[in-house]
């Protein structure tokens, strides 16, 4: 019996005629060094250092555990997908090849929209808080002005060509290395002069209550490996550079993230560490060694060189926050533009600028959404920074992680569907290894979504200790319904936006189907693997 020939595996999926028209406007200006700094800027998040430190020493324990059971499997998973399918749009393309355009389109909207939620939410509020702590108060209208300036400066940077824009993550990575390195040096000086808080061994013991509180922020700081793949066709050699950059940036991020958390714990009592101001307060405390003092009530005053260095560090922190948002936007926006050009969204947003080689229209739309969120959130929370921070960060994480629940299983499906695709890097262990990393990565992000929507999930069950209510963010104490609605209602709205986007992509899908029908007289592009491969 003669076996029917199998379609060749896709190396560079063409997706649709709409994206094919835009591909020629991309510019290959990203080298391995650029990808490495891009990932360091992505992975080392300055907005959640305080949230992890607020859980005490067990935060470091859980950080080590999750590095093994999530960070490593996730890195292996993305290294294979990114090197096997080095196509512009990265996560969207992987999901599209695995599960089809409709699923990938809805999934991509969640992945993309989490960026304006994050920028207009937690990043913006930490930047504003840092400014007020180190420079000057922002009363009334000035808080809105400063927040909008933060958002639109970032939008301007994201719009720039990759040759110019790549210097933003480089600057962000350097700012992180300098800021966090100087902070650790200052901790040592502070310890010599004032001593440090003892960290009893028992406090490092991991607990389930601590896990539920920490898993969202820890895993959120461990994600971002897939972002450079969204700009794969702007890299010189993505098949080689993506796996190597993932390895190097992963090791660097563990050091850059873990060191400051330990420093905060040495300087501040755990009960005084807040999720929003933990890192800021620790910086102010250690910088008193250069000039200043800590009053009996805990009020910190910087003077002389301490005040100058504190201001420099504050500027570095704000730059770090801004570049985090920019770097994520550079990846997420590109993937959304590919989705729109492919017929999973309005074709108008899938246009790549001839002048800049970037998806300017998606960039501007994201900045508008972030601005709306900023204004709405500041009004709904009556200026309560901690409440704004908790709701914004939780929503950004859950939105991103829901998309991961769909994207990560693409590894298993694509190994089966396209076994002959060249894979410069493969997850070790054959299909058993593939299933292992997929189950670990997908399972943990799915669990994270549950505990974000319902903090304290599982706490106090089966006679165990602890109270689920205590797992609510302190700013939402006793307000579980209000917190849950702050997560669920926006998520429902985002899904509706995804459906609207997909409906708006109908004309592009019809054109693509007509083109395929004219060529073969058979099935539409979504049902033929061959149609995803140019030149077959």
- Position 11 in a domain: no
CB distance 100 to 108 below 8 Å: no
Q: What is the DSSP string of 460-519?
A: TGGG-SS-GGGGS-GGGTT-HHHHHHHHHHHHHHHHHHHHHHHHHTHHHHHHHHHHHHHH
C-beta atoms surrounding 193 within 10 Å: 10
Q: What is the pLDDT of residue 108?
A: 95
pLDDT for residue 531 is more than 50: no
Distance of CA 136 to the CA centre of its chain: 30
Angle at 113 between CA 107 and CA 118, to 5 degrees: 130
Choice between 43 and 158, residue whose per-residue pLDDT is larger: 158
Q: How far apart are CA 47 and CA 210, in angstroms?
A: 19
For residue 235, report the phi and psi dihedrals to the nearest 5 degrees: -95, 155
Per-residue pLDDT tens over the stretch 97-149: 999 999 999 999 999 999 998 888 878 888 888 888 888 888 888 888 999 99
What's the whole-number mean pLDDT along residues 211-215? Answer: 79
Angle at 473 between CA 467 and CA 479, to 5 degrees: 80
Q: What is the 3-state secondary structure (H, E, C) of 280-309?
A: HHHHHHHHHHHCEEECCCCCEEECHHHHHH
Percentages of the chain per state (helix, strand, coil), in multiples of 5: 75, 0, 25
Percentage above 90 pLDDT, the chain: 23
pLDDT for residue 245 is more than 90: no
Query: How far is residue 400 from each of residues 70, 112, 332, measured CA to CA in Å?
Result: 16, 8, 10
Write down the residue that tokens 């990565």 correspond to.
441
CB distance 446 to 405 below 8 Å: yes
- Position 528 in a domain: no
Write down the residue that tokens 């003669």 correspond to.
2
Write down the residue that tokens 């300017």 correspond to.
360
Per-residue pLDDT tens over the stretch 124-136: 888 888 888 888 8
The dihedral over CA atoms of 222, 226, 231, 234, expressed in degrees to the nearest 10, equals: 90
How many domains does the chain contain in total? 1
Instruction: Count the alpha carbons within 13 Å of 156 in the hemisphere toward its beta carbon.
Output: 6
Percentage above 70 pLDDT, the chain: 86
Return the DSSP state at 57: T
For residue 57, the domain's CATH number is 1.20.1740.10
Task: For residue 292, list its beta bridge partners.
Answer: 302
Per-residue pLDDT tens over the stretch 16-57: 556 666 776 777 777 888 888 888 888 877 766 777 777 778
Q: Is residue 476 very low, low, confident or very high in pLDDT (cuts 50, 70, 90)?
A: confident
- Position 264 in a domain: yes
Choice between 207 and 21, residue whose per-residue pLDDT is larger: 207
Which residue range(s) make up the domain with 266? 23-504
What's the whole-number mean pLDDT along residues 367-389? Answer: 77
- Position 150 in a domain: yes
What's the whole-number mean pLDDT along residues 164-174? Answer: 86
Is pTM, for the whole model, over 0.75? Answer: yes
Kindly report the average pLDDT of the chain as a whole number: 81
- Position 529 in a domain: no
Q: What is the pLDDT of residue 352?
A: 85
Write down the residue that tokens 């499997």 correspond to.
73
- Position 368 in a domain: yes
CB distance 241 to 247 below 8 Å: no
What's the whole-number mean pLDDT along residues 430-459? Answer: 89
- Position 7 in a domain: no
Q: What is the pLDDT of residue 266?
A: 76
Cα of first residue to Cα of last residue in the chain, in angstroms, is 25
pLDDT for residue 462 is more than 50: yes
Q: Is residue 274 very low, low, confident or very high in pLDDT (cuts 50, 70, 90)?
A: low
- Position 381 in a domain: yes
Q: What is the pLDDT of residue 533?
A: 36
């Amino acid at each position: 019996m003669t076996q029917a020939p199998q379609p060749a595996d896709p190396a560079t999926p063409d997706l649709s005629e709409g994206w094919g028209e835009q591909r020629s406007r991309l510019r290959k200006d990203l080298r391995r060094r650029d990808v490495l700094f891009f990932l360091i800027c992505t992975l080392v998040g300055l907005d959640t250092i305080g949230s992890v430190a607020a859980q005490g020493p067990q935060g470091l324990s859980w950080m080590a555990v999750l590095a093994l059971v999530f960070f490593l499997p996730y890195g292996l998973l993305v290294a294979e997908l990114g090197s096997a399918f080095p196509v512009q749009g990265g996560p969207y393309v992987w999901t599209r090849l695995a599960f089809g355009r409709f699923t990938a389109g809805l999934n991509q909207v969640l992945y993309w929209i989490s960026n304006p939620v994050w920028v207009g939410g937690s990043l913006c509020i930490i930047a504003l808080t840092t400014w007020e702590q180190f420079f000057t108060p922002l009363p009334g209208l000035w808080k809105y002005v400063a927040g909008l300036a933060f958002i639109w400066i970032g939008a301007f940077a994201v719009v720039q060509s990759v040759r110019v824009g790549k210097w933003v993550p480089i600057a962000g990575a350097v700012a992180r290395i300098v800021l966090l390195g100087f902070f650790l040096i200052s901790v040592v000086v502070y310890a010599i002069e004032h001593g440090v808080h003892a960290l009893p061994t028992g406090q490092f013991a991991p607990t389930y209550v601590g896990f539920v509180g920490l898993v969202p922020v820890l895993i959120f700081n461990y994600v971002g490996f897939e972002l450079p793949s969204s700009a794969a066709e702007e890299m010189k050699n993505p098949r080689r550079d993506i796996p190597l950059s993932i390895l190097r940036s992963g090791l660097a991020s563990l050091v850059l993230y873990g060191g400051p958390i330990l420093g905060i714990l040495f300087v501040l009592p755990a009960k005084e560490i807040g999720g929003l101001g933990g890192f800021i307060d620790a910086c102010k405390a250690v910088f008193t060694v250069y000039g200043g003092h800590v009053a009996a009530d805990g009020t910190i005053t910087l003077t002389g060189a301490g005040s100058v260095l504190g201001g420099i560090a504050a500027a570095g922190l704000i730059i770090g926050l801004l570049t985090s948002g920019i770097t994520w936007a550079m990846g997420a926006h590109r993937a959304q533009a590919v989705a729109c050009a492919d017929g999973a969204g309005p074709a108008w947003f899938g246009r790549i600028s001839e002048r800049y080689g970037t998806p300017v229209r998606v960039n501007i739309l994201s900045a508008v959404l972030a601005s709306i969120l900023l204004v709405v959130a500041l009004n709904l929370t009556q200026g309560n920074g901690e409440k704004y921070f908790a709701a914004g960060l939780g929503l950004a994480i859950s939105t991103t992680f829901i998309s991961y629940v769909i994207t990560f299983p693409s590894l298993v499906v694509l190994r089966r569907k396209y076994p002959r695709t060249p894979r410069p890097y493969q997850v070790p262990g054959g299909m058993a290894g593939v299933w292992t990393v997929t189950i670990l990565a997908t399972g943990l992000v799915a669990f994270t979504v549950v505990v974000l929507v319902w903090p304290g999930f599982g706490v106090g069950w089966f006679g165990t200790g602890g109270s689920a209510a205590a797992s609510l963010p302190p700013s939402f104490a006793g307000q579980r319904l209000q917190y849950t609605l702050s997560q669920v209602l926006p998520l429902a709205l985002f899904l509706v936006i995804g459906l609207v986007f997909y409906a708006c992509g109908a004309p592009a899908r019809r054109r693509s189907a007509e083109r395929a029908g004219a060529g073969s007289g058979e099935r539409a592009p979504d049902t033929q693997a061959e149609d995803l491969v140019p030149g077959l």
